[in-house]
Amino acid sequence: MSTDPKIAVLGGGSWATAIIKMLSENLDNIGWYMRSVYAVEHIKRNKHNPNYLSSAELHPEQLDLSYDINETVKNYDYLIFAIPSAFLKSELDKLTESLEGKIIFSAIKGIVPESGYIVGEHFFEEYNIPFENIGVITGPCHAEEVAMERLSYLTIACQDQDKAKFVSKRLKGRYIRTKISDDIIGTEYAAMLKNIYAIAAGICHGLGYGDNFQSVLMSNSIREMKRFIRKVHKMKRNINNSAYLGDLLVTGYSTFSRNRMFGNMIGKGYTVKSAMFEMSMVAEGYYATKSAYKLNQEKGARTPIIDAVYSVLYDGKEAKKVFEKLTTKLN
């Protein structure tokens, strides 16, 4: 009888599906919770997620699919959460099973709107999960390219390097390279902040700024991200590593990024509300902007880009004017 700890993924979206695909290359039994009964049944019958990343072929015989979160939490040791941060709390509220002793890995890019915490902090503060049992899985990685089996690099961060290695070994494969890190706070904040910069990139694009300016914006964004993260958690890190700069670039330069698209609509003149309505979902960077802005009121890093996005999204300021002023603060 194998005593190897068992891994489950929680979430039914693109990124969850991509992680399932990676794990399926290495494991015969993977737990997978998603709330949609329909999706579970569809995957069992048709070997594809009906709603997200539907081009990826799945292997139901390797999957222990469930639409009961408590069943999955009960039966698995490593829980990889890939639920959009906006829905995390309502999913966790369903829990009757304890999370004690579980190893929690967050593959969520964003902030939990109800608590204002990044996901690792949320589990630490709300569920008393010790930090050595909390990890982060971060890109740069569009799920769509995992479906196409295009080479991608992930960073797996955990204070306990053995746990990072455990997860890393099960994710890596023919088209996935992994790297270990002990910077869970920094990688998680980077993953969250990049969505704000992607909104900024979208706003600028919508306003008519070109590629020259875009590169200046990204160059300023990575410096701002460094200042911000250093204030939150000072440690030796190379901000130009893939988990920080790479993740910023893959999002900031992606025309498929929901955050960039959201920004683009605002730059083109949509109101914040109508842009949200048109997209029929909320871009994660929307919440991240508020949280980062509020947090920085205490921390005091110089963050002209976050400030600009905040004043457009939350203070009703005109994007054109705010960004004209922003351009004088960049270099």
Interaction site with a second copy (CB under 8 A): 139-142, 145, 148, 150-153, 177, 179, 208-216, 218-220, 222-223, 226, 238-242, 245-247, 249-250, 253-254, 327-328, 330-331
Report, in Å, the least distance between residue 240 CB and a second copy. 5
In angstroms, the CA 17 to CA 51 distance is 10
Q: How far apart are CA 8 and CA 101, in angstroms?
A: 15
Amino acid at 248: L
Report the candidate in 123, 262, 138 with the shortest Cα–Cα distance to residue 205: 262
Supply the minimum distance, in Å, between the C-beta of residue 213 and a second copy: 5
Report the chain's C-alpha Rg in angstroms: 19
Query: Nearest CA to 157 among 235, 84, 85?
Result: 235
Shortest distance, position 220 Cβ to a second copy, whole Å: 8
Residue 137 host element (H or E): strand 134-138
Q: Which helix (H) or strand (E) holds 66?
A: strand 63-66
Min dist CB 62 to a second copy, Å, is 24
Q: What minimum distance in Å lies between the beta carbon of 145 and a second copy?
A: 4
**Euclidean distance between CA atoms 105 and 19, whole angstroms:** 12
Cβ-contact 31, 6 below 8 angstroms: yes
Catalytic residue among 194, 268, 321, 325: 194
Q: How does DSSP classify residue 170?
A: H
Q: 92 or 176: whose CB is closer to a second copy?
A: 176
Confirm whether 194 is a catalytic residue: yes
Q: Which residues contact 318 (CB under 8 A, 6 or more apart)?
A: 312
CB nearer to a second copy: give 196 or 217: 217
- Nearer CB in complex with a second copy: 70/240: 240
Please tell me the distance from the alpha carbon of residue 207 to that of residue 85, in angstroms, as a whole number. Answer: 29
Shortest separation between residue 186's beta carbon and a second copy, angstroms: 15
Nearer to a second copy, 85 or 152 (CB): 152
152-158/134-138 β-pairing: antiparallel
Q: Which is nearer to a second copy, 297 or 331 (CB)?
A: 331
The nearer residue to a second copy, 14 or 291, going by C-beta atoms, is 14
Which token pair is 22?
Answer: 């990676």
Active site residues: 194
